[in-house]
């Protein structure tokens, strides 16, 4: 019975494998790629059909009046479907026979023509977009055409936003609720503030929107202060890191010795392996000067004063003064009790910053950051 079952299973398996269809090929690298916005987002044949319908005005039933008394013919079903605002205008428009009449004024006639064409086929010419980008941006907001809005934003973000039009774009973006575009234009204004603040566009914005001009100017000042603060913190962090390295090098010299300088009970060799502490070279020179300096006036020698400060700093970061081989470590520990609260608070802040500069793997000879 077992053999029969196995044979039956094998026969079904062979039958199934013969009827399994061949899997489709793997998708090519181009599949799934995001198409780049361009002059046309539809096929050539479709574009030509819709453009011909728009240009010929075949069975048009809408007359659009523009500036200078010019006229554009269109189809109510098409432009009403593409824009809910135009659909509402058509419902309220007066009719003369089969004709609906509406007006789109305040922008050039050619810009309106490009706009209406876009409602038909979502197409446009690159030269027309370059010339009427601001008008098309305004029309896309006024007549609620999200697709045209995205196209205009894309073109402005990828080349059409310049120092010549950025102030106008910024105001229009705020007025027409284009948050991303307003952010990008605001960044450009801040980057070229000195140049832009001397232009006629800036003067016009100051007259028409004084509060907006003040906000932009204040944001530039805030950004400049923040930049200075970042630079200051970066410089402070570099100094704290250098002090930490100096503390490590000082322990290394006093405990192990380095080339020709170190504790008296160490056999020092000038041709010893290279030192891993970059601060050793400068610290070695400072120690030699400190040991042989003849200037005894308090605070008279800058180099000696620096060495005293390093020794005191070491005593404050040292984890065990009893086992420490750095000179005067215990003496400075005892001296801490006699210092004023003001000096003590300054030293504590310095110690905290120096120890905090070593994010990972602090030295076992130093206090942990949490104890500061």
Q: What whole-number distance in Å separates Cα of residue 267 and Cα of residue 210? A: 76
Express each pLDDT in 271-290 by its tens digit. Answer: 666 677 788 888 888 888 88
Beta strands (DSSP E) in 38-98 are: 62-65, 71-74, 95-96
State whether residue 62 is helix, strand or coil. Answer: strand
pLDDT of res. 271: 62
Query: Would the pLDDT of 5 be above 50?
Result: no
At residue 227, φ and ψ (nearest 5 deg) are -65, -45
Express each pLDDT in 130-159 by its tens digit. Answer: 999 999 999 999 999 999 999 999 999 999
Express each pLDDT in 245-259 by its tens digit. Answer: 999 888 888 888 877
Express each pLDDT in 204-237 by its tens digit. Answer: 999 999 999 999 999 989 988 999 999 999 999 9
Pairing status of strand 99-103 against strand 71-74: unpaired
If one compares 87 and 253, the residue with the highest pLDDT of the two is 87
What average pLDDT does range 22-44 have in this prediction?
A: 51
Q: What whole-number distance in Å separates Cα of residue 323 and Cα of residue 165? A: 70
Express each pLDDT in 348-369 by its tens digit. Answer: 899 898 888 876 556 777 777 6
pLDDT of res. 24: 54
Q: Provide the pLDDT confidence category of residue 165 given band limits of 50, 70 and 90.
A: very high
Query: Would the pLDDT of 23 be above 60?
Result: no
Q: What whole-number distance in Å separates Cα of residue 117 and Cα of residue 123? A: 7
What average pLDDT does range 123-127 have in this prediction?
A: 91
């Amino acid at each position: 019975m077992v053999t029969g079952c196995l044979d039956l299973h094998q026969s079904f398996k062979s039958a199934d494998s013969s009827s399994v269809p061949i899997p489709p090929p793997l998708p090519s690298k181009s599949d799934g790629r995001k198409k780049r916005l361009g002059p046309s987002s539809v096929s050539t044949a479709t574009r030509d059909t819709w453009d011909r319908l728009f240009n010929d005005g075949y069975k048009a039933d809408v007359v659009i009046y523009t500036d200078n008394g010019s006229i554009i013919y269109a189809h109510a079903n098409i432009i009403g479907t593409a824009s809910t605002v135009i659909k509402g205008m058509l419902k309220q428009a007066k009719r003369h026979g089969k004709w609906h009449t509406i007006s789109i004024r305040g922008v050039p006639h050619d810009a309106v023509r490009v706009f209406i064409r876009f409602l038909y086929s979502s197409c446009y010419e690159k030269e027309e977009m370059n010339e009427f980008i601001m008008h098309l941006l305004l029309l896309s907001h006024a007549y609620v055409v999200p697709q045209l809005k995205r196209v205009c934003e894309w073109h402005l973000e990828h080349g059409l936003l310049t120092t010549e039009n950025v102030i106008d774009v910024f105001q229009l973006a705020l007025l027409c609720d284009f948050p991303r575009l307003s952010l990008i234009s605001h960044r450009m204004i801040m980057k070229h503030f000195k140049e832009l603040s001397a232009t006629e566009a800036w003067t016009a914005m100051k007259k028409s929107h004084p509060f907006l001009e003040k906000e932009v100017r204040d944001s530039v000042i805030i950004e400049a202060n923040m930049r200075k603060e970042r630079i200051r913190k970066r410089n402070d962090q570099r100094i704290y890191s250098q002090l930490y390295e100096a503390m490590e090098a000082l322990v290394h010299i006093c405990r192990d010795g380095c080339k020709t300088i170190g504790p008296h009970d160490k056999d020092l060799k000038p041709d010893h392996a290279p030192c891993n502490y970059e601060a050793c070279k400068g610290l070695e020179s400072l120690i030699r000067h400190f040991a042989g300096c003849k200037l005894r006036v308090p605070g008279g020698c800058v180099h000696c004063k620096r060495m005293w400060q390093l020794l005191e700093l070491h005593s404050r970061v040292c984890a065990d003064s009893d086992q420490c081989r750095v000179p005067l470590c215990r003496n400075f520990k005892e001296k801490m009790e006699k210092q004023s609260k003001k000096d003590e608070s300054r030293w504590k802040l310095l110690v905290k910053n120096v120890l905090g500069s070593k994010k990972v793997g602090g030295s076992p000879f130093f206090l942990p950051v949490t104890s500061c």
